[in-house]
Amino acid sequence: MAKKIQDPDYLYSVLLPYVNWHTRHSYRRFEVHGKEKLPKDGGLIFGVNHSNTLMDALVLLSSNNIRKVFIARGDIFKNPMVAKVLNFFRILPIFRIRNGVAAVRNNDDSLNKAVDVVHDGVDLYLFPEGTHRTKHSLMRMGKGLFHIAIDASKQFGDQHPVYIIPTAIEYGDYFRYRSTAMINFGEPINVTEFLKNTTEENEAVNINLLKDRLHNEISKLFTYIPDDEDYDAIWEIVKMKNEKRAGGLYKKMLRNRATVEKVLKYKEEHPEEAKNLFERVNDFTKERVKQKISVMSTARKYPLINFFWKLIVLLLGLPYFVASAAVTLPIWLTTLIIKGKLKDKAFSNTVSFGVEFVLFPIIFIVGTILLFCNLPWMWALGGTVLLFFSYMLFVDYCELCRRWISDVRWTFKTKLRKQYESLNLNNLF
């Protein structure tokens, strides 16, 4: 009997803990919420927003130790060797009409395998938007997820129900390595129960009803902003209001959503005033970006205080930073070179992850051997610990330095600070 994609694999099981550890440590803060909502009695199909290329799948993979299978767009399976690697990582292809009619015919095989995954009680993850986009919004969803859910329910729903699990990933930053990541699972959609109770016999209509419901449920799970001409201004307002307030990622998301709700209400009740405000916010943003000032600095009421404590931390950490920069030079230099050639900047974090994933174990092993060959074991052990955290320290130090420079600029940009104060965001929202 041919091996199924969801069957246990020894090599996969050996690699998985390291991959998951590496993924979680690619973020300064990593949170998972809503796991208690996941049903124990059926097949689970997860519909997830898609905003950060391969990192989305890696973040989901590290959310728990349960077996998972993913479905990705078919065009990345063109190369037979790549297809074999992707299959090893438990990724099935699904093709779209843009890939050609011949390719779309292969979907039947993938969909049948996907239904079998659900039947075997293995979690199936899909990105129904079909492509990634670095926005706190949602695109139109494809039909593949819903075909799988309906087919699975028809085949074995009488034995155990089939659920679609609305799932959202929210990142602190789409482009900066070691930002933050949060996964939020929503209320399950019981597809089997839905099909039993619906009076609609047309499957296409039922698919559209499920699409609308999933879209609505996912939009409740992260900082969702309607994707219209005011998106950029609203997102800027949200960041300026909530970027530096204390609390975990989930609480921050709730504050973001509350701010979005207030802004949208203001837009509805005062359309002309809102239009004027959004224009001024966009003008401020352009100048802020031009001056290379972080939005985090704008939240500082007393930027000089932050200036001094960051300076103290930077000075204390400077020797370790210099050593870390030297040791990890192959990683950050390779990363910079590859990122400079990227056409789609959304792959920035995927590149950072991939380069570190490949090169850091080599640096760590070689460095550890050299330390123990040349130093007393106590010193060598201490050096090994410092080496282990070296790249994380290097990245975090660079980020702190960037924010410190931003605070300095913000302190002395009196005109820009007055422009910010004139927005009156704290009183409006």
- Per-residue pLDDT tens digits for 114-171: 999 999 999 999 999 988 999 999 999 999 899 999 999 999 988 999 999 999 999 9
For a pLDDT cut of 90, what percent of the chain falls above it? Answer: 72
φ/ψ of 19, rounded to 5, equals -60, -45
Q: Identify the sign of the CA torsion 292, 297, 299, 302.
A: negative
C-alpha 351/C-alpha 177 separation (Å) is 10
> Of 87-91, 307-311, 374-378, which one has max mean pLDDT?
374-378
Q: Sign of the CA dihedral 362, 365, 369, 375? A: positive
First to last CA, the chain: 62
With cut-offs at 50, 70 and 90, classify the pLDDT of residue 304. confident
Contact 62, 357 (CB under 8 A): no
Residue 108 has pLDDT above 90, yes or no: no
pLDDT (average), residues 381-396:
96
pLDDT digits (tens, 9 = 90+) for 248-300: 999 999 999 999 999 999 999 999 999 999 999 999 999 999 999 999 888 77
The whole-number average pLDDT for the span 93-102 is 64
Q: Contact 112/131 with Cβ under 8 angstroms?
A: no
Q: Which residues, at least 6 apart from 235, have a Cβ–Cβ distance to it below 8 Å?
A: 136, 225
Phi and psi (nearest 5°) for 148? -60, -45
| Predicted pLDDT at 96 | 67
Q: What is the pLDDT of residue 98?
A: 59
Residues facing 170 on adjacent strands: 182
Candidates 27, 18, 90; CA nearest to 57 is 90
Of residues 395 and 308, the one with the higher pLDDT is 395
User: Is 90 exceeded by the pLDDT of residue 106?
Assistant: no
What is the average pLDDT value for the chain, to the nearest integer?
A: 91
174-232 pLDDT, tens digit each: 999 999 999 999 999 999 999 999 877 888 999 999 999 999 999 999 999 999 999 99
Tallying the residues shown for the chain, one arrives at: 429
Dihedral Cα 266, 267, 270, 273, nearest 10 deg: 100
Cβ neighbour number for residue 241 with a 10 Å cutoff: 21
What span, in angstroms and rounded, lies between the C-alpha atoms of 219 and 216? 5
State residue 80's pLDDT score.
81
Residue 102 has pLDDT above 60, yes or no: no
pLDDT at 93: 84
Q: What is the pTM of this model?
A: 0.92
Pairing of strands 189-190, 162-171: antiparallel
For 402, the token pair is 């960037």
How would residue 101 be classed by pLDDT, with cut points 50, 70 and 90?
low
Give me 314's structure tokens.
Answer: 């930077």
CA–CA distances in Å: residue 355 to residues 179, 299, 389: 17, 34, 16
> Taking CA 105 as the corner, what is the angle to CA 101 and CA 107, rounded to the nearest 5 degrees?
120
Residue from 165, 161, 159 nearest 192 by CA: 161
